[in-house]
Amino acid sequence: MLATNVLHFTRILRDSGLPLGTRSTLDALACVEVAGIETRADLKAALRCVLVSRAEHLVLFDTAFDLFWRDPDIAAKMMAALLPEVSGRGTAKPPPPPPTRLLDAMHGQQSEAAPQPTQDPDELEFDATLTFSANEKFQRLDFESMTAAEWAQAKDAIADFALPVKPIRTRRTRGVDRGRIIDLRRTLRESVRTGGEVIHLARKAPQVKPPPLVVLCDISGSMHRYTRMFLHFIHALTNASIRTTNAGQHVEVFLFGTRLTHVTRQLRHKDVDAALERVASAAPDWSGGTRIGACLHEFNQRWSRRVLGQGAVVLLLTDGLDRDDIHVLAASAERLGQSCRQLIWLNPLLRFDGFAPRASGIQALLPHATKFIPAHNLQSIKALATALSA
Amino acid sequence: MIATPTPASIDATAKLLDSANYVADRALATSVYLMLKMQRPLFLEGDAGVGKTEIAKVLASTLGRDLIRLQCYEGLDIAQAAYEWNVQRQLLAIKASERTADAHIENVIYSDEFLIKRPLLKALQGKAGAAPVLLIDELDRADEPFEAFLLEVLSDFQLTIPELGTITAAEPPLVVITSNRTREIHDAIKRRCLYYWVDYPNAARELEIVRRKVPGVDQRLSAQIVAFVQRVRKEDMFKLPGIAETIDWTRALTALDVIELSKENINDTLGVLLKYQDDIHALRTRMQTVLDDSASQ
C-alpha cells in the first residue's frame, strides 16, 4: 500500500513538472525503506532528498506532500483520477480532471511566483508610445507565425554569426601540432611507436570557449515592434547547431517589462513558433509599462550570482526609456556592469539619425555598458547579426 | 584515528552531528543518515556561509575517517582531480633500463609506483570499514566537462586508467558535494545524489550555533546579535549574511568587549557582517528601524 502511494505521489510530482523518471521512483521507495515511516517529518525529509533536485521545486514538493499524505481519501481520489491514464495513454478518452483542491495546490507555487500586482493608483506609467497607463497591461502577445523565408533568413544569419566578444581562454588544454606546452604524457605514449625513443615532442595549448551569454530582453510597450524579431534571434542563438561558431555556448534568457521572467526553458523548444508560444504564455507583462531599474535590481538580487559566473557576457536589449526612479536604475546598472565580463547594450532607438542619448534612463545606463551597439533596421535579423559581429 | 561504524538511526545521526557541535535540523540529519545508509553522495546546495563544507568535516572527525578534499576550480582536469603519470620519472626509468636491457620496462613504468594519486583516486582506495570522506567542494566552480567525468566516479565508485585498468573502491567513500549555485549543476549529477538545500537557520537554531561556536559569549548579547542578523536577512540585500558571518561578528563584538548592541558599535563592525558596500550603505541608512525591529522581537 505504501509502495503504491509513493508511486502515485511520484507520478503527481512528475505531472506537475518535476523532472522525475522511473529511477526516481525506485530511489524514493528505497529511501522510504531505509528511513522508515515512524514519523511524517522523517518521511517527508527522506522523500524530499531524492525527489527534489532544485531549490525552486521545494515549495511545490512541500505543498504536494502535505496534501497527498494528509488525507487518504485524496490519495484514493487522485488514484482514481489518474487511473484512466494508466490503463491506456493512446485512447482518445481524456482523463477526468483531478480534484480542484489538489490542482490548486499543485499550481499554488506558480501563482505565488507571479503574484497579481498590487495596483497603486498613484503610480502612473508612461511608455514611449506616448500613452499613460494607470496599471500594468496584462496582454498576451499573439505571435504571428514565422514565414519560411524569414526562418531561412534567420538561420543564415545565425550560421555566420559571431558575437563581438573574445572567447575565454580556459585552463583546460588540448593536443595541437604547435603549442608552447610540451605534453609529456602523450610524448611518452607516442614514443612507443618508435621503440621507446622520443623523436617527436607532442604539444598542447589552452582551449578556448565562447563565454556564457545572458540575454535581458525588454518586452514593454515601447519595444513592441522589435520584440518578435529579437526573440527569433535569441531562439536561434539558444538552439545554435553544432556547425555554428557559437556551438557549446550557454545561453540564459530573461524577459522584462514590469517584472522579470526567466524563459530559458521555454525557448529550448526546437520549433521557433512553439517556443515563442510558450514564452508568450510565461511572461505576464507583454507590452505594458517599463520598470527597467526594478527589473535589473531583481535580476541582480536573485539571478546574477547563479548565471553570471564563468565570465558571462550580458546582452541587454532595451530602448532605455524608463519612467521609474532613475537612481534605482543607475545603481542596478552599475552592479550589473560590475558583475559580468561585458555588458553589451543593443538599442533600437539608434536607427534614428542624430539620436542623442538625452533620456534620463539612457544616461543612467550608458556609463555602465561596455559596448553600445547601434542596431539599425532591426526588422531584419540579418542586419542585427551583422551589427553584432562587426 | 579509529574508524567507527556509521550510525544506525536518524536519532543517532542527529546525536553524532550534535556531538561535534554541528546543530542540524531533523531534515538534514535524515539526509545524512540516508547518505550513509544508501551509500549515495550527498549534494548540498545553498548560499555561502551556511555550513555546507562543515558537514563533511564533522562527518570525518566524528566517524574517525580521513577527509579528502577536492577544491573545484575552472579547468580542473583529470590530472589534478584523479591521477597523473609521473612522466619525468618514467623517462628516467627508461634511460636506466637501457643499460640493463630490461625487456619488461613497459610493465614497470605503468605501475602503481609511477602513478601520482590525486583526491578522487585516493578516495577510492580506502580500506574496507574505514572509507574516507570525500569532499568535492564548490562543484559549481568546475566546468561541465569535469562534471561528465565525475559521473563515472559517483555512480559506480570506480575510475578507469587506460594504462592500468579499472580501479574499484572496496567500500564507497562518503561523498559530500557542495555548490554555491553560481551556475546550475547538470541534472545527471544531481540524480545520482541525495539533494539537500541548506537554508539559513531559524532564530532558535542560530542562537544555539552561536553559543556553541563562541563559548564565552554573553547570553543577552548573543540573543541580541541573532535577533539583529535574522532581521537583516529580511532586508533587500545583494548578499545576505550567513551563519559564518554571524559567528565572526559575534567573535568581533566579544573581542571589543561589547555588552549591548548599539547603533555605534554595529556601525563600527558592519564590515564583518556584510561584504558589499551597497549593502552596508543600505543598512546604515535603515539602521534605526532594523535595530528597533530586532529589539522588539
Please, which pLDDT band fits residue A351 given cuts at 50, 70 and 90? Answer: low
- Give B161's contacts (C-beta < 8 A, 6+ positions apart): B83, B115, B167
Report yes or no: B239 and B283 within 8 Å, Cβ to Cβ. Answer: no
pTM of the model: 0.75
Specify the pLDDT at position B149. 87
Element (H, E) at B136: strand B133-137
Specify the pLDDT at position A138. 36
Yes or no, beta carbons of A31 and B38 under 8 Å apart: yes
Residue A141 lies in a domain: no
Q: Does B191 touch chain A (CB under 8 A)?
A: yes
Report yes or no: B76 and B210 within 8 Å, Cβ to Cβ. Answer: no
The full length of chain B comes to: 297
Residue B31 lies in a domain: yes
Q: Does B143 touch chain A (CB under 8 A)?
A: yes
Cβ-nearest to A52 among B10, B87, B195: B195
The candidate with the shortest Cα–Cα distance to B213, out of B22, B2, B6, B4, is B22
Yes or no, beta carbons of B31 and A30 under 8 Å apart: no
A344 plus A286 within the same structural domain: yes
Yes or no, beta carbons of A41 and B27 under 8 Å apart: yes
Average pLDDT over all residues of chain B: 91
| Opening angle at CA A305, ends A314 and A63, nearest 5 | 120
Q: What does the pLDDT average to over A64-82? A: 66
Specify the pLDDT at position B55. 95
Amino acid identity of residue A45, one-letter, is A
The interface pTM score, or ipTM, of the predicted complex is 0.72
User: How far are the Cα atoms of A229, A268, A323 from residue A261, in angstroms, in the given order?
Assistant: 18, 15, 20
Report yes or no: A346 and A389 within 8 Å, Cβ to Cβ. Answer: no
Q: In which order are the strands placed within the sheet that holds A168-176? A: A168-176, A203-209, A181-182
Q: What does the pLDDT average to over B270-287? A: 91
Measure B219 CA to nearest chain A CA, in Å. Answer: 31
Q: Does B282 touch chain A (CB under 8 A)?
A: no
A92 plus A32 within the same structural domain: yes
What CA–CA distance (Å, rounded) separates A85 from A95?
A: 6
Checking if the pLDDT of A129 tops 90, the result is no
The candidate with the shortest Cα–Cα distance to A369, out of A310, A281, A277, A292, is A292
Residue B1 lies in a domain: no
A223 plus A341 within the same structural domain: yes
What CA–CA distance (Å, rounded) separates B177 from B262?
A: 40
Specify the pLDDT at position A258. 84
Specify the pLDDT at position B107. 79
The residue segments making up the domain with residue A190 are: 172-208
Checking if the pLDDT of A137 tops 60, the result is no
Average pLDDT over all residues of chain A: 71
Specify the pLDDT at position B270. 93
The residue segments making up the domain with residue B109 are: 83-117
Answer with the one of B148, B170, B197 that is the final residue of a domain.
Answer: B197
Q: Does B20 touch chain A (CB under 8 A)?
A: no
Residue A134 lies in a domain: no
What CA–CA distance (Å, rounded) separates A41 from A45?
A: 6
Report yes or no: B233 and B241 within 8 Å, Cβ to Cβ. Answer: yes
A199 plus A217 within the same structural domain: no
The candidate with the shortest Cα–Cα distance to B216, out of B246, B253, B262, is B253
Which range (A302-316, B59-73, B164-178) has the least confidence? A302-316
B225 plus B94 within the same structural domain: no
A228 plus A376 within the same structural domain: yes
What CA–CA distance (Å, rounded) separates A386 from A159?
A: 11
pLDDT, one tens digit per residue, over B185-198 is 888 899 999 999 99
Q: What does the pLDDT average to over A37-55? A: 86
Cβ-nearest to A185 among B85, B237, B278: B85
> What domain count does chain B have?
3
Q: Does B3 touch chain A (CB under 8 A)?
A: no
Cβ-nearest to A19 among B85, B90, B187: B187
What CA–CA distance (Å, rounded) separates A236 from A157?
A: 9
Q: What does the pLDDT average to over A265-276? A: 80
Closest chain B CA to residue A302:
B238
B174 plus B283 within the same structural domain: no
What residue has cell string 521609474?
A324
B58 plus B162 within the same structural domain: yes
Q: Does A307 touch chain B (CB under 8 A)?
A: yes
Strand ranges inside chain A, DSSP E: 125-127, 131-133, 168-176, 181-182, 203-209, 213-218, 251-256, 260-262, 313-317, 342-347, 371-374
> Burial level of B282, CB count in 10 A (0-12/13-18/19+)?
middle
> What domain count does chain A have?
3
Q: Does A300 touch chain B (CB under 8 A)?
A: yes
Per-residue DSSP letters for B255-295? HTT--S--HHHHHHHHHHH---HHHHHHHHHTHHHHHHHHH
Residue A124 lies in a domain: no
Yes or no, beta carbons of B278 and A335 under 8 Å apart: yes
Report yes or no: B225 and B249 within 8 Å, Cβ to Cβ. Answer: yes
Half-sphere exposure at residue A19, Cβ-oriented, CA atoms within 13 angstroms: 9
